[in-house]
Amino acid sequence: MLINPSLLFLDEPTSGLDSTTAQRIALTLWELARGGRTIVMTIHQPSSRLFYMFHKVLLLSEGNSLFFGKGSEVMDYFNSIGFSPSVAMNPSDFLLDLANGISPDNSSYGDQNAVKQKLVLAYKSNLDEKLKAEVVEFNDDENDVLDNKKHERWSTTWLQQVMVLLKRGVKERKHEFFSTLKIIQVIAVSFLCGLLWWQSDKAHLQDQSGLLFFYTGFWGFFPLFQAIFTFPQERQMLGKERSSGIFWKFFVCVIHTSF
């Protein structure tokens, strides 16, 4: 998302979420798509509100296409070829039954292959040629646009990417790195250095080298204290993972991968 890609693939971004949260994510993706991006995602059994937000829907069954087109037209298409739900239901549930070869007029699991073959043949006779014509027409228009417009490799410059990452890093870590305790520690050490090397004679290189050595040592070891004080907080979880054998399993996996 940082380099503003024109094509974005998402693998089930709404899995494990409730319908409200999934709706918010789909709305965000819908707004991104309106900005000139193409978003392709796999999704499993979405809600009715979420389903009708899709601009295009591709239904697959064992690698075969059963439908490709607007989400609002999917029920009309299957109704036109003799597949319509007996009761009002979520379109995604209806499509999932068809993809598994379950006919709406017969909910048994008897002749699933026959239903799938009928749907595949209907797709090839009704949608396949139309889709190929649309792809050829789109490619011709796209080639004309590319000939008349010179595209840059990246949508954002290197400096813009660095600034976005820097702002994000400062926003996430400012409470951790700019805490009151650390600020007091740095000021106290700076005060002591000022007292020790106050009015130091520049002619004595040994004094100046000592000051530089102290600076490099302090700023080299000062960040390490953060890692040292992190261990006591994680000690309980670390002991629990060791008792369950997670570290041993990880070690075996690493050895196995190395060989």
Give me the pLDDT at residue 107, please. Answer: 53
| pLDDT recorded at residue 257 | 37
Out of 148, 181, 211, a domain closes at 148
Q: What is the pLDDT of residue 245?
A: 64
Report the alpha-carbon angle 179-180-186, nearest 5: 95
DSSP H/E element including 69: strand 64-69
Confidence (pLDDT) at 38 = 87
Q: Are both 138 and 27 inside the same structural domain?
A: yes
List, in order, residues 6 or more apart from 40 with CB less than 8 Å away.
Answer: 7, 8, 9, 10
Question: Which pTM value belongs to this model?
Answer: 0.50
Per-residue pLDDT tens digits of the chain, which is 259 residues long: 667 778 888 888 888 888 888 888 888 888 888 888 888 888 877 888 888 888 888 888 888 888 888 888 888 888 888 888 888 888 888 888 888 888 876 555 557 888 888 888 888 888 877 777 777 666 655 555 555 555 556 667 888 888 988 888 888 777 777 778 788 888 888 888 888 777 776 656 677 777 778 888 888 777 777 777 777 777 787 777 777 765 444 444 333 333 3
Residues 57 and 144 reside in one and the same domain: yes
Residue 172 token pair:
């996430």
In a domain, 169, yes or no: no
pLDDT the model gives residue 46:
83
Give the residue numbers spanning the domain of 43. Answer: 7-148
80 inside domain: yes
Domain identity same for 118 and 34: yes
Instruction: Give the Å distances, CA to CA, from 64 to 96, 119, 121.
Output: 14, 9, 10
Say yes or no: 139 and 32 in one domain: yes
In a domain, 37, yes or no: yes
Same domain? 234 vs 136? no
Q: How many domains does the chain have?
A: 2
Same domain, 249 and 140: no
Query: How many of the other CB atoms lie within 10 Å of CB of 95?
Result: 22
Is residue 251 in some structural domain?
yes
